[in-house]
Structure 1
Amino acid sequence: MSASSIPTTMQAVVMHGPEDYRLEQLPVPTPAADELLIRVEAVGVCASDLKCYHGAAKFWGDENRPRWVQEGITPGHELVGEVVAGSDEALARHGLAFGDRIACEQIVPCGECMYCTRGWYWMCGPHDMFGFKHYNGAMAEYMIVPALARAHRVSKDIPAHHAAFSEPLSCSLHAVERAQLTFDDVVVIAGCGPIGLGAVIGASHKTPKQVIALDFDDDKLALAKKCGADLTLNPGTVDVEAEIKALTGGYGADVYIECTGHPSAVSQGLNLLRKLGRFVEYSVFKDPVTVDWSIISDDKELDVLGAHLGPHCWPAAIGIIESGVLPMDEICTHQYGLADVQQALDQVGDSSGASVKVSIVPGL
């Protein structure tokens, strides 16, 4: 795209407060000397986008906790777009050329704090992220890619909304990496939404002894099978703990990866793990979670691990999607235009389970 073909104005979703998102006509931003401009092709709508929309802090019952909504900022961090403008310096910095399609990691690390200088960029102290703090996100026709962003090239041979799935998949792969899977492990993954399905994909690529997926939705369990699960169980119809202990000689699973964000799934995991098992938590909870910590310590001596973002997993996530092995049309279930952002948010919040990955495609 030549500079002359870039319009002067664009449509963008702008946050004005909790449950007050507006589609506005804004100037197309001009990149600084070290920045790039991309034409947004697709942006996934994350559960964290929905929590942000509703105000986030009120879910924890703590009004002192800062709200995620930043007035005047455009949301959207599961993004993919085409590089359309920028200096030679900015292109060289990211190893890109005009016309390249890129996905960006959701965090824009400062590069200077203790975490960044020790190589832990995904835990950056300032923790600026697209759409949540100081950087506009991708629910817009165009978006600035700042100098400190971490960009990854993605093939143009796949649909844009499939390419945008690289963000949640990288997060899932990081959760799987945290679990340190071995060939002998029985791995249980709770939840078959986008993150849970990604964990199934990542775990199956590690070839443990068995990957077991849990969900209350039989259609999502069927999709988990297509993504690599060896066994699926519906907690609404079977005693999951009893089933897994029967499969493991009464011991329990080696690894449990929690991807539901529901408090009951935490105690479920602690109970069905064997002694010395590994519990990985990825979810963002809307309600407080209370568990019997004696299970973690005195009873089982469990390793409890958190996971955040998708560091170092982006090339693998993109490669898996580009390989064509995943049922991407069944994972990416709903696409909306920018004008339908409210429908997209409502779709993510729909408890009926009708959607898996919801995306906004500005061209629609």
Structure 2
Amino acid sequence: MTDRIPEKMQAVVCHGPRDYRLEEVAVPLRRPGEALIRVEAVGICASDLKCHDGAAKFWGDENRAAWAETMVIPGHEFVGRVVELDDAAAQRWHISMGDRVVSEQIVPCWECRYCKRGEYHMCRPHDIFGFKRRTPGGMASYMVLPAEALVHRVSGDIPAQHAAFAEPLACSLHAVERALITFDDVVVIAGCGPIGLGMVAGARAKNPMHVVALDLAPEKLELARACGADITVNIATDDALAVISALTDGYGADVYLEATGHPSAVPQGLNLLRKLGRYIEYGVFGSDVSVDWSIISDDKELDVLGAHLGPHCWPAAIKMIESGALPMDRICSHQLHLSEFQQGLDLVASGSESVKVTLIPA
């Protein structure tokens, strides 16, 4: 038995910065090779908030071309049930009617230099769900998965909000992979939001000497311990540099992963690292950040690496969530109806009242 698919649905529509509206729109039509899913949950990401607030990263300014588009349904952290597909889609993704699925946030072209080398997360002409008109996102009752998408099955036995967390967790695991963590490393993670907590869990799975979590909120530091941090530092009350120095005989941390997107976290990381240390940047900044580059070169000869999206890490992220190893009920702190999207954005903006906010369309 299949869902009866209506002609109209509710969706959040972006009309521009700080102008998101709940509207009734047409249910999207599936083309050959695509799948239609009924959305069960969609997470609100910090990048969704920054796009909503008009950050230059998304809307452009005199120095930067616009990246986001108007009249788009936002949402790239989603999970849903397959309600329509054809044989081509079923065979490509190994899915069936009624399966619960997630899709990677990027929709690559599969033809550019990066795609042909397996570096699809850097696809040159790519689309991203929820930011481009060609790929409407998950803040809606239904959405289409294009033929170029990367689709993964996920257990139907876990809560929908947990399944939707596969997107941020895959991103966290990619950053951890970039860090090349070894057994004797002291690893510092800045920020215990959804991405930082995933980094803590991923770093702990690599079994380094210490996983140190930094944040301003005691409750988030407590959650970081539940995810695998053996040392936590409240940077509002404690001197992180002194803690790390004492832990490493004055040398400094081996690895620093930045997950806050706050400008102050960048020089903090450069100062906490030892010489020849590794800095991994994942944060999405709302404005430009300046640092003393001589720390990177002349002082410490650091390896500074970026991390983008979660390529090749989705199966591991899904397995970690399905295993029950993470305190998912505490991580997925708030579930709101789709109509309460503005309240959800406000919760994310506050930074202290929630961890992961998820919208439920039904």
Query: Identity of paired residues, percent?
Result: 66
Within 2, Cα distance between the matches of 1:58 and 1:97?
38
Aligned match of 1:293: 293
Within 2, Cα distance between the matches of 1:350 and 1:141?
27
Aligned match of 1:210: 210
TM-aligned CA distance change 1:112 to 1:59, over 3 Å: closer
**TM-score in terms of structure 1 length:** 0.97
Q: Give per-residue Cα distances to partners, 1:29-63, cap 9 Å, x unaligned.
A: 22111110000000000000011111221899833
Q: How many residues align?
A: 361
Q: Give per-residue Cα distances to partners, 1:85-105, cap 9 Å, x unaligned.
A: 011112111111001101100
CA contact (8 A) 1:192 1:214 kept: yes
Within 2, Cα distance between the matches of 1:226 and 1:111?
39
- Tell me how far 1:66 sits from its aligned partner: 3.1
CA contact (8 A) 2:58 2:67 kept: no
CA contact (8 A) 1:18 1:69 kept: no
User: Which 4+ stretches in 1 moved above 4 angstroms?
Assistant: 58-61
Q: Give 1:58-137 correspondences, 5 Å limit.
A: 62-133=61-132, 134-137=134-137
Indicate the SS of the match to 2:264: helix
| 1:13 matches 2:9 | no
Q: Give 1:33-44 correspondences, 5 Å limit.
A: 33-44=32-43
- Tell me how far 1:64 sits from its aligned partner: 4.1
Indicate the SS of the match to 1:173: helix
RMSD: 1.4
Aligned match of 1:283: 283
Q: Give 1:133-212 correspondences, 5 Å limit.
A: 133=132, 134-212=134-212
CA contact (8 A) 1:56 1:68 kept: no
Within 1, Cα distance between the matches of 2:144 and 2:60?
35
Aligned match of 1:26: 25
TM-aligned CA distance change 1:85 to 1:59, over 3 Å: closer
CA contact (8 A) 1:60 1:286 kept: no
TM-aligned CA distance change 1:59 to 1:14, over 3 Å: closer
- Tell me how far 1:245 sits from its aligned partner: 0.8
Aligned letter for 1:299?
Answer: D
TM-aligned CA distance change 1:341 to 1:67, over 3 Å: farther
Q: Give per-residue Cα distances to partners, 1:247-289, cap 9 Å, x unaligned.
A: 1011010000011111111111111111110000000111321
Aligned letter for 1:79?
Answer: F
CA contact (8 A) 1:275 1:300 kept: yes
TM-aligned CA distance change 1:43 to 1:295, over 3 Å: same
CA contact (8 A) 1:261 1:284 kept: yes
Indicate the SS of the match to 1:17: coil
CA contact (8 A) 1:59 1:287 kept: no
Indicate the SS of the match to 1:308: coil
Aligned match of 1:355: 354
Aligned match of 1:328: 328
* More deviation, 284-293/102-111: 284-293
Aligned match of 1:241: 241
Structure 1: gaps spanning 5 or more residues: none
Structure 2: gaps spanning 5 or more residues: none
| 1:250 matches 2:250 | yes
Aligned match of 1:270: 270
Aligned letter for 1:146?
Answer: P
Within 2, Cα distance between the matches of 1:316 and 1:218?
29
Within 1, Cα distance between the matches of 2:26 and 2:248?
60
Within 1, Cα distance between the matches of 2:68 and 2:268?
32
Within 1, Cα distance between the matches of 2:116 and 2:58?
33
Within 2, Cα distance between the matches of 1:100 and 1:69?
31
Q: Give per-residue Cα distances to partners, 1:74-123, cap 9 Å, x unaligned.
A: 00000100001011112111111001101100000000111111110000
Aligned letter for 1:259?
Answer: A
**TM-score in terms of structure 2 length:** 0.97
